[in-house]
Amino acid sequence: MNQKETKTLKYNFDEIIDRHGTHSVKWEGGELLKKFGRAERFDEDTIPMFLADMDFACPEPMLQALHARVDKKTFGYSAFLTSPHYIEATQGWFKRRHDWQIAADSIVYAPGTVEAINVLIRTFSSEGQGVIVQRPVYSPFMSSIKGRKREVVSNALLNDGGYYTIDFDDFEQKASDPNNTLFLLCSPHNPVGRVWTPEELIKMAEICLAHDVVLVADEIHGDLIRRGYTHYPICTLVDDDRLISCTAINKTFNTAGLHCSNIIINDGEMRKRFSANMGMKSPTPFAITALIAVYNHGEEWLEQVNDYIDGNLRYLDLFLKEKMPQVRYRIPEGTYLGWLDFRGYGLSSAEVHDRVYSQANVVLQDGESFGPEGAGFQRICVPCPRSVLQEAMERIYTAFEDV
Ligand SMILES: Cc1ncc(COP(=O)(O)O)c(C=O)c1O
């Protein structure tokens, strides 16, 4: 499909797509959730809103490219670095969308961002050392740090009436401790939805560089930005080869199952060390095809999906203000995540959980999984048809009506 044809596409995000029978964790992972104690009930009536995974159809140019790839009938070993298309598509996307000129050599493929973060931790810190995070934050940051036998060092975010900021005094103190050698920055931030300003980003980078702390920015939500805000990749603000950025098509275009992340490491020596630990990995033929299609022809879909998500987040805001004012919520600046503060009800976390998960039969994510700072919160993911969100919210409202 050429660019001219894609201009005529109008996507219907209201479409309900039955994801059963696709091995979807979100829709068919009930046994897993039960096993890990994250939800007691999961049946055909459950509305799952716990996973950062969209229920929308992927961009049409990508679907067409994948069909055409299947028609080639063979799926042997794939070369991607030797073909310019993968690298050029990646460079083109970040130049057009973020004014970021990425050198071809700096792009290192990884089958997943979390896997890459594990390898980055292993490569740029040693056992027993501290890795700085800003809780409440994406829980695999913590499990990856602990799994590699490092210490989680939290520079907890400051919550001012639902708006989160950075405690820079504490950050500098933690960065200046020689035992803390790595900082995992979540930018934009999951779950609190902040899109960090250039001033905040530059200050964090300067502190890290001054104290020889390797800064790894997980920027995989960087294309899911609410209107009026701008995401700045860290490498566009601070010109220093020691900054590392994690990028991926998976959040932007809902291709997590295709396993395709690109880690941007500008320093040749650091790249060599990371690649040696990562091992020679190559994307699958489907990942290569998908990346080239979405980075070259996915912009129209992304603009429309962001508008639709804006609408869902606004709907959530109006619903809560009108029907559940005890729940504090701010429309996020980025991501498609709602960070809901249930503490206004004065209930225990267990009671909130029971009302949402068992009575309403909606699965969210308990705030504590993002660190103790998340106690009393629930995270909701809203990249779904509005009718599904409406049904989930009506059920949650009913479950709290008597409080
Ligand atoms: C901040 C952040 N990093 C990484 C991931 C997962 O990335 P991947 O599927 O590439 O491992 C997520 C998924 O929700 C995320 O929110």
Pick from 302, 361, 388, 392: nearest CA to 16:
388
Give the DSSP letter of residue 327: S
Nearest CA to ligand 1 atom 7: 113
| Beta strands at 214-218 and 180-186: parallel, antiparallel or unpaired | parallel
Residues 17 and 112 in one domain: no
The residue to mutate among 53, 114, 187, having the most atoms of ligand 1 within 8 angstroms of its beta carbon, is 114
Q: Residue 65: CB within 6 Å of ligand 1? A: no
Residue 174 shares a structural domain with residue 282: yes
**Is 257 touching ligand 1 by the criterion CB < 6 Å?**
no
Same-domain check for residues 207 and 356: no
The pLDDT value recorded for residue 49 is 97
The first and second tokens of residue 214, run together, are 């390797």
Q: Is the CB of 250 within 6 Å of ligand 1?
A: yes
Tell me: do 147 and 282 sit in the same domain.
yes
Q: How far apart are CA 347 and CA 314, in angstroms?
A: 26
CATH number at residue 333: 3.90.1150.10
Examine the domain organization and report whether 26 and 97 are in the same domain: no
- Closest alpha carbon to 191 in 41, 346, 329: 329
> What is the whole-number distance in angstroms between the Cα of residue 9 and the centre of ligand 1?
28
Q: Is the CB of 186 under 6 A from ligand 1?
A: yes
**Same domain? 267 vs 174:** yes
Give the pLDDT score at 23. 94
**Same domain? 311 vs 363:** yes
Contacts of 323 (CB under 8 A, 6+ apart): 393, 397
Does residue 235 contact residue 243 with C-beta atoms inside 8 Å?
yes
Does residue 277 share a domain with residue 366? no
Q: Domain ends where: 280, 296, 312?
A: 296
CA-closest residue to ligand 1 atom 13: 52
Confirm or reject: Cβ of 112 under 6 Å from ligand 1: yes
Residue 4's pLDDT is what?
47
- Which residues face 301 on adjacent strands? none
Closest by CA to 62, choosing from 226, 259, 249, 223, is 249
2 CA distance to ligand 1 middle (Å)? 30
Domain count, the chain: 2
Kind plus residue range of the DSSP H or E element containing 250: helix 250-253
Q: Which two three-digit tokens encode residue 138? A: 């994406």
**One domain, residues 100 and 194:** yes
Any ligand 1 atom below 6 A from CB of 187:
no
pLDDT for res 7: 56
Looking from the CA of residue 248, the nearest atom of ligand 1 is 10
CATH of the domain at 260: 3.40.640.10
Task: Decide which of 245, 273, 296 is a domain's last residue.
Answer: 296
Give the residue ranges of the chain where pLDDT is below 70.
1-7, 82
Could you give the CA distance from residue 282 to residue 167 in angstroms, rounded to a whole number? 40
Instruction: Give the H/E segment covering residue 88.
Output: helix 84-98
Only one residue has tokens 């290192």, namely 108
Range of the domain at 213: 64-296
Residue that finishes a domain, picked among 273, 296, 319: 296
Let me know the angle formed at the C-alpha of 148 by 145 and 154, rounded to the nearest 5 degrees. 20
| 23 shares its domain with 129 | no
User: Are 43 and 73 part of one and the same domain?
Assistant: no
DSSP 334: B
3-class SS at 132?
Answer: strand
Same domain, 310 and 192: no
CB 381 less than 6 A from any atom of ligand 1: no
Residue 323 Cα to ligand 1 midpoint, Å, equals 32
Whether the CB of 190 sits within 6 Å of ligand 1: yes
CA torsion 189→114→172→379, rounded to 10°? 30
